[in-house]
A and B are shown apart, each in its own frame.
Chain A
Amino acid sequence: MISSISIKGYRGFENFEMRDLGRINLLVGTNNSGKTSILEVVSMLESSGDLTRLWNILWKRGERSVRMLPPLEKNPAPRPVAEADVGHIFHGHEIHPGTKLSITAKNESPEKYLDLEIRELAPEEKVDPQFVDDSDDSPLPRMALRMTGNPSPGVPLVVLSRNFGIPGGQLRRPKRSQSKRPVQFITTESSSVEEVMAAWNAVALKPEEKLVLQALQALDSDIQGIALQARVAQQYWGPGNRGGFMVKLKSVEQPVPIGSLGDGIWRMLALSIAISQSKGGTLLVDEIDTGLHYTVMSKMWNLIYSAAKDSNVQVFATTHSYDCVYSLAQICPDADPDNKITVQRIEASKHESVPYDQEEISVAAAREIEVR
């Protein structure tokens, strides 16, 4: 588990430290204070700079563009190429050779870190056209994103497009093999039907399916089973459905669509699948309270805490909700010292977070002290 993390030059964080981290870490703070950025940072560090992950981070933020390449002689079909704009992850939004960001985690030795730096390609460094969509004859040096770290990143050098973007083609490059720690990043969009259906495939008929069912039962003890129904003529179903997940309730003879049970169950489904997939790794959840009523949040925290302990997962989540902090406080008195629970307040102008340990969280909830 990471016990403290140092961020230099990532987005709004020129120089920032977060200490006293534990098994569960709930990040609070005003809008735009950087809570989601911290999740991104942990995600990148724990995946050792996985390029696809970086791409997804930029893509989800809309930091991307699509260009049309000139049509080929033989085939006039449109050739769109996508690229992710890497400039915005660097503090100050501007990049030039030497621009750098650095993430360091201090836990057991050896120290884990990830550095990203912009540099020019040397003349002898060739650009492989199959991975870059705009190889041209311009004499100007190309820029590249250099990734170093411990463990070593899979793709140490990413050639950038002329617009300082990461060309989609770079994702096709072979990566150095590295042992992968599972890192699950759940955002409010991850509760999209497609993502949950895809995630379900990793769980169905495996031991994890039982854990997912237990998680749903903690919210509604009437649930006896869950299955993904194969749909005939899928293309006519249209959007706005729950993908065909059906649930068997004790009190109802026929299986019912999961949508009949409301958003809380759906959110729990997404979360519990994610937990089951992050054994020995990290679970990141943005706006963890989304769609959950305060009566359900304590159960959710209980589930997450025991699952995190059992599966050795470190959890980072963000929230704006008082109920979410209050519900977390309810499980603090029984938390054990080797599996700490912390709340970290992030304030834009400060160089470190304000950490609350489990005792302080309990007391703050009981005595109406505003931690957010």
Chain B
Amino acid sequence: MEPTRGHEKVLIVEGVDDKGCVIGLMRNHIPWEEPWPVFIKPTGGAGDILKPALLSAQLKEHGVRTVGIMLDANSNPAGRYQSIRNTCSKFSLSLPETLPAEGGIAKNAGGMRIGVWIMPDNASEGYIETFLRYLVPDNEEPIWKHAKNAVSAAKELGAQCPEKDIPKANLFTWLAWQSIPGQQPGIALTKHILNPRSPHAAPFVKWFRELFEV
């Protein structure tokens, strides 16, 4: 399939769910209509994004001026950041030595821009679900706690969910009980089931808008 062409701004994410989340969140802050302000590209996961060849090919793509990268910290936020930082340095894109809490942004003399955000908050271990947890509306906290407890109880009964995926289980359990049950997080954000205007979302929104100049 031929690549979609003509976009200057690209955000690389792990998968289509992540893409849905970013669109669901950002459309509440900037107009999100054709021609899309940023082209969001899902990959085959963190393994793909951390391949130096993928990042360098993306930075070399014809017509692209701004590249953003969003991926989960998993258990090694610093290591993942350094790997990206190394590849970027070959393009005279000097990201800061440690990833700042507000996300990393760098540009070079040629006008290329790069940005890095490691979910949830550029410092902690975790995933995008860890981040999304904080977008649960305040009045929903009791139900959220209930969802958390339900997941723990299920684990004790022998549920297969791995320890590292508990944040995801919590989120999807809570989503199962909403006015439209079982919505993907991206839709939940669009429909304000998750709160896109939560102050916890603000740092990411700010990073996105600053990087892509939107």
Tell me, yes or no, whether A59 is within 8 Å of chain B by CB. no
The smallest C-beta distance from A34 to any residue of chain B, in angstroms, reads 15
Measured in the bound complex, the distance between the Cα atoms of B60 and A357 in whole Å is: 11
The proximity string for A residues 352-372 relative to B, scoring 1 for CB distances below 8 Å and 0 otherwise, is: 001011011111100111111
Query: Across the interface, which residues of B come within 8 angstroms of A364, CB to CB?
Result: 57, 61
The smallest C-beta distance from A18 to any residue of chain B, in angstroms, reads 14
The stretch of B46-54, B147-155, B188-196 in contact with A is B46-54
Query: Across the interface, which residues of A come within 8 angstroms of B60, CB to CB?
Result: 345, 354, 356, 360, 371
A371 & B54 in contact (Cβ 8 Å cutoff): no
Measured in the bound complex, the distance between the Cα atoms of B143 and A25 in whole Å is: 60
Interface size on A, residues (CB 8 A): 17
Closest to B7 in A: A370
Tell me, yes or no, whether B96 is within 8 Å of chain A by CB. no
Contact (A372, B62) CB under 8 Å given A322-B2, A367-B48: yes
Measured in the bound complex, the distance between the Cα atoms of B58 and A232 in whole Å is: 59
Query: Across the interface, which residues of B come within 8 angstroms of A345, CB to CB?
Result: 60, 62
Top 3 closest pairs, chain A to chain B, by CB: A359-B53, A368-B3, A360-B57
The smallest C-beta distance from B54 to any residue of chain A, in angstroms, reads 5
Q: Give the residue among A322, A356, A364 with the most B Cβ atoms within 10 A.
A: A364
Contact (A369, B2) CB under 8 Å given A357-B53, A362-B53: no
Tell me, yes or no, whether B109 is within 8 Å of chain A by CB. no
Contacts beyond the supplied A356-B57, A367-B43: 20 A-B pairs with Cβ under 8 Å: A322-B2, A322-B3, A345-B60, A345-B62, A354-B60, A357-B53, A360-B57, A360-B60, A361-B57, A363-B57, A367-B54, A368-B1, A368-B41, A369-B3, A369-B57, A369-B58, A370-B5, A371-B57, A371-B60, A372-B62
Closest to A30 in B: B62
Measured in the bound complex, the distance between the Cα atoms of B60 and A356 in whole Å is: 8
Residues in B1-19 with C-beta less than 8 Å from chain A: 1-5
Measured in the bound complex, the distance between the Cα atoms of B57 and A372 in whole Å is: 12
Query: Across the interface, which residues of B come within 8 angstroms of A322, CB to CB?
Result: 2-3
The proximity string for B residues 1-45 relative to A, scoring 1 for CB distances below 8 Å and 0 otherwise, is: 111110000000000000000000000000000000000010100
Query: Across the interface, which residues of B come within 8 angstroms of A370, CB to CB?
Result: 3, 5, 61-63
Closest to A29 in B: B62
Tell me, yes or no, whether B56 is within 8 Å of chain A by CB. yes
Closest to A362 in B: B53
The smallest C-beta distance from A302 to any residue of chain B, in angstroms, reads 22
Measured in the bound complex, the distance between the Cα atoms of B54 and A361 in whole Å is: 9
Contact (A360, B53) CB under 8 Å given A367-B48, A369-B58: yes
Identify which of A360, A367, A368, A371 contacts B62 (C-beta below 8 A).
A371
Measured in the bound complex, the distance between the Cα atoms of B56 and A371 in whole Å is: 11
Residues in A146-190 with C-beta less than 8 Å from chain B: none
Residues in A320-372 with C-beta less than 8 Å from chain B: 322, 345, 354, 356-357, 359-364, 367-372
Measured in the bound complex, the distance between the Cα atoms of B7 and A369 in whole Å is: 11
The smallest C-beta distance from A284 to any residue of chain B, in angstroms, reads 23
The smallest C-beta distance from A187 to any residue of chain B, in angstroms, reads 25
Measured in the bound complex, the distance between the Cα atoms of B57 and A359 in whole Å is: 9
Measured in the bound complex, the distance between the Cα atoms of B4 and A322 in whole Å is: 12
Measured in the bound complex, the distance between the Cα atoms of B61 and A372 in whole Å is: 8
Would you give 5 A-B contacts (Cβ < 8 Å), ordered by A? A322-B3, A345-B62, A363-B54, A367-B43, A370-B3
Query: Across the interface, which residues of A come within 8 angstroms of B51, CB to CB?
Result: 359, 363
Q: Give the residue among A345, A357, A363, A367 with the most B Cβ atoms within 10 A.
A: A367
